[in-house]
Chain A
Amino acid sequence: MKAWQRYVIVMALGLVGGTAFAVHQVRGGLNDGLVLNGPWETGKSFGTLEASTLTRAKVALSGLMALPAKEAMYFTASRDSNGRKLDGRCSYDVRGGKLDGRWWSVTLYEGEGWLVKNAANRWSVAASAVTADAQGRWAFAVSPDAQAGNWLPTGSAKAFNLTLRLYHPSPEVIDSPEKAKLPVIERKGCA
């Protein structure tokens, strides 16, 4: 084999390998390696100049046009509070208290962030939709079947994820999102 052939072979492998590894990393989920809080994951630098090359690429894929933290924080869960993957055939309770921001909503997505078709045409539960008790506690259900009270359908999605948007979060949440009080996601049962 001639020297130039060795170069061509190995450099072609390098080109394909380097590109493939980058694509693999970008596709490897929005939040790995970032801030964890129970089942929720977030990052501190979406949409800002401080975002790393990899974070920027990931956000462009899974959360293009995301707002910076002072405006809104995005917490995404793809597992329940016990660490099991969220499964569209199972029913869950999402329970929380007062969240430290101006307004919040929880939206159900599949894949890289697509709303799921469902007969009820519901895709999110917002702060204004839940009824809080005297202690400020609220809850809603996530389930493939209609539930009493507030209910977010999983439609036909097999795996899904939830994004909690917290608009105008408090400075404490912006500084330490890992300490913010966020809802729990409890699995009740599976079909």
Chain B
Amino acid sequence: MMRRWIFPILAGGLVALGAYQATLLATPYALMYAALQKIGGDGASNRFVFSKMATADNQPIVRPSPDLSYSTCVFDLSKGPVLIDVSPVPGRYWSVSIFDARTDVAAVRSDRDTKGEPARLALIKQGQIAPAGYEPVLLGYDRGLALVRILLANPSEFPAVDAIRRKSTCKQV
């Protein structure tokens, strides 16, 4: 009687292991996809969206920092490289990070790295070429997110910081 169940149970165990691994592997892609849909909800990719400061009523992503101004660009490399130009804010921590479709960080550049100069990144796939003057960032997927964080010492700085960050651009070549 029991012997009839041995192979089905082994098969079920293998299916369980497979389902476990598949769920873990799929989770980042699924959550990133949902986040990209939410952030780039109007369908416009390859341009920056300059978000308001996070509050209890405005939480575009999980665990937002209420001290940071966030600007996001949902990029799509399927039609060519995408150039990111980040306008520096003097004397403030700021950084631009590039996340791929699996949520991994492909690149981060902060004011410490650029010594206060603008950050200029070319997001490329294999076979694409970065234009002169841009640091190439190689990505394994078409879609992902560029995220600019700028630290505010207090909320009253927002208008000044907002004016500077709106000079940053995200555009397809």
Contacts and interface: CB of A to CB of B under 8 A. Distances in A.
A57 B27 contact: yes
Given A11-B11, A63-B62, A22 B23 contact: yes
Interface in A88-135: 102-103, 105, 107, 109, 112-118, 121, 123-124, 126, 128-129
B56 interface: yes
Interface string A2-23: 0100110111011111110111
Interface in B12-27: 12-25, 27
Nearest to B103: A60
A12 to B, nearest CB: 8
A68 interface: yes
B153 interface: yes
Contacts of B56: 114-118, 121, 123, 155
A123 B62 contact: no
Interface residues of B, number: 54
Interface stretch (B44-52, B63-71, B79-87, B119-127): B63-71
Contacts of A11: 8, 11-12, 15
A123 B108 CA distance: 26
Contacts of B97: 47, 65, 67, 71
Contacts of B66: 107, 115, 123-124
B137 to A, nearest CB: 14
Interface in A40-94: 47-49, 51, 53-54, 56-57, 59-65, 67-68, 70-71
Contacts of B21: 22, 53
Interface string A132-149: 000000000000000000
Interface string B130-147: 000000000000000101
Given A62-B63, A107-B65, A124-B66, A6 B4 contact: yes
Contacts, number: 171
B24 A54 contact: yes
Most buried by B among A51, A54, A67: A67
Contact of B27 (A18, A60, A63, A121): A60
Most buried by B among A13, A102, A115, A117: A115
A154 interface: no
B18 to A, nearest CB: 7
A168 B8 CA distance: 53
Given A10-B9, A60-B27, A124-B66, A47 B104 contact: yes
B18 A18 contact: yes
B55 A67 contact: no
Contact of A61 (B8, B25, B62, B95): B62
Contact of B93 (A9, A63, A70, A103): A103
Nearest to A50: B104
A59 B59 CA distance: 17
18 contacts: A6-B8, A18-B15, A19-B22, A22-B24, A23-B23, A47-B103, A51-B104, A56-B27, A56-B28, A61-B31, A63-B62, A64-B103, A65-B97, A105-B65, A109-B63, A114-B62, A123-B55, A128-B154
Given A10-B12, A102-B93, 14 more contacts: A9-B8, A14-B12, A14-B13, A22-B27, A23-B23, A59-B28, A63-B62, A65-B97, A67-B105, A115-B55, A116-B56, A117-B56, A168-B110, A168-B112
